[in-house]
Copies of this chain bind each other. A is one copy, B any other.
Amino acid sequence: MSLLENATAPTTGDFDSAAFYAKLDESKLAARALATANTAAKDAALEAIAQDLLAHVDEIVAANADDLARGQADGLSTGLLDRLTLTPQRVQGLADAVLDIVAIADPVGESVRGKTLPNGVHLEQVRVPFGVVGAIYEARPNVTVDIAALALKSGNAAVLRGGSAAESTNRVLVAVIQGALARTGLPGTSVHTIDEFGRRGAAELMRARGWVDLLVPRGSAQLIQTVVTESTVPVIETGAGVVHIVLDASAREDWAVDIVRNAKVQRPSVCNAVETLLVHADAAARLLPPVLGALRESGVTIRADERARAVFPDAVPATDEDWATEYMSLDLAVRVVDDLDEAIDHIRRYSTSHTESIITNDLGNADRFLAEVDSAVVMVNASTRFTDGGEFGFGAEVGISTQKLHARGPMGLPELTSTKWLVRGSGQIRR
């Protein structure tokens, strides 16, 4: 399903550059209208989209059945097929998610800062939409609706490349969205799919400077890597999480047990789940048996280094590969470190800079950890599962950025906007 695998997929003939850029021209034009659409108009369109998704549930599920049949014939994994599947219940979930976005504050027009200069010129920095937001993702039809709705609420046109595996489903979903937009007076062209342009279309989208203002990849690490390295349009990297918890010498046992179990077991398949546990040597004998014992009861496979296995023998020996692995499953790598420096060094080397947490009662170590660990979210005595737009109170989550430019950590709707300066004068010139 990745962009690279698609190289072997059948394409729909030669790439039609004129048709491709004609679509992007429509997106640019739609973005102009969206930029000045007020919140009421955008909310009405979102409500219409939710309605129409439910009204067209049979068509959507039928198109999805085509994709599923093709996926089964192509030998897609059970996990991929599950992500690809839309049932009537899941379509209801999509419609509900769109209505949730209606409830979130519109970031467009928000005044970020402002002042009046001594000469009377007034400056105001306000949030404005990016313009055209592109998304590249894989076999997840829910992302089609999700990104379209988030883009619309923040005043952006959306150009979607949802991958060949979900092409039939996405075609129907986008048609439904376009119909609802047109019905409520916004341009139907505000949301486009470019799936029909195949792999070449995706590659072209990544280099469509002047048409696409922002590109968001969603999916496998490989897909994100391809988009980040191939794109000349600005990208927001929503990244993988090789997430660490450090048990300091002074860590409370109850907090250590609760937090590590919550971070590993509550939802192991997500990016904020812990993957590696680092334990201070002075606390290994005290903490590892209860912490790892609780995990084993929950079905977790422990992959531990030599020193950890000395106090918790019932573990698989860890290899160097384990430190760099985002399991997204009930597996945990465990390592004993001599001190906080060694823990921080390990994190610097292996972390994807998503989230790290330390369990400690030592104020100095807590402060050092917060200051020296260079990740999007750095925690003391809390579960890494809190790194989430919903938990942070953003209402919707566009993704979790692991890059440093523009947005870092959980992204809400304001992160789908840029700003511009409005300058109001009365004849002033520069002296």
- From A8-16, A53-61, A415-423, the one touching the partner chain is A415-423
Whether B420 lies near A254 (C-beta < 8 A) is no
Q: Residues of B contacting A232 with CB < 8 Å?
A: 228-229
Query: A234-B404, A430-B385 are contacts. A423–B371 as well, Cβ < 8 Å?
Result: no
Whether A374 lies near B424 (C-beta < 8 A) is no
Whether A234 lies near B420 (C-beta < 8 A) is no
Q: Give the distance in Å from the alpha carbon of A380 to the alpha carbon of B123 in the complex.
A: 11
Query: Which residue in B128, B209, B262, B406 is a CB contact (below 8 Å) of A405?
Result: B406
Q: Residues of B contacting A403 with CB < 8 Å?
A: 234
Beyond A258-B427, A385-B429, A404-B418, 15 extra complex contacts between A and B, CB < 8 Å: A115-B393, A131-B404, A254-B427, A255-B427, A357-B423, A381-B425, A382-B423, A382-B424, A382-B427, A385-B430, A386-B428, A387-B421, A392-B421, A408-B419, A408-B420
Whether B429 lies near A383 (C-beta < 8 A) is yes
A291 to chain B, nearest CB (A): 13
The prevalent SS among residues of A at the interface is mixed
Q: Residues of B contacting A254 with CB < 8 Å?
A: 427
Interface flag for A336 (CB, 8 Å): no
Q: Give the distance in Å from the alpha carbon of A387 to the alpha carbon of B421 in the complex.
A: 9
Query: A406-B405, A408-B418, A408-B419 are contacts. A427–B381 as well, Cβ < 8 Å?
Result: yes
Q: Residues of B contacting A255 with CB < 8 Å?
A: 426-427
Whether A420 lies near B266 (C-beta < 8 A) is no
Q: Give the distance in Å from the alpha carbon of A262 to the alpha carbon of B387 in the complex.
A: 51
Q: How many copies does the complex hold?
A: 2
Q: Residues of B contacting A229 with CB < 8 Å?
A: 209, 232
Whether B262 lies near A131 (C-beta < 8 A) is no
Interface flag for A69 (CB, 8 Å): no
Query: Which residue in B234, B393, B405 is a CB contact (below 8 Å) of A418?
Result: B405
A424 to chain B, nearest CB (A): 5
Whether B128 lies near A374 (C-beta < 8 A) is yes
Closest partner residue, chain B, to A357 (CB atom)? B423
Closest partner residue, chain B, to A427 (CB atom)? B255
Query: Which residue in B36, B262, B376, B418 is a CB contact (below 8 Å) of A420?
Result: B376
Q: Give the distance in Å from the alpha carbon of A130 to the alpha carbon of B403 in the complex.
A: 10
Interface flag for A259 (CB, 8 Å): yes
Q: Residues of B contacting A421 with CB < 8 Å?
A: 376-378, 387, 392, 408-410
Interface flag for A391 (CB, 8 Å): yes
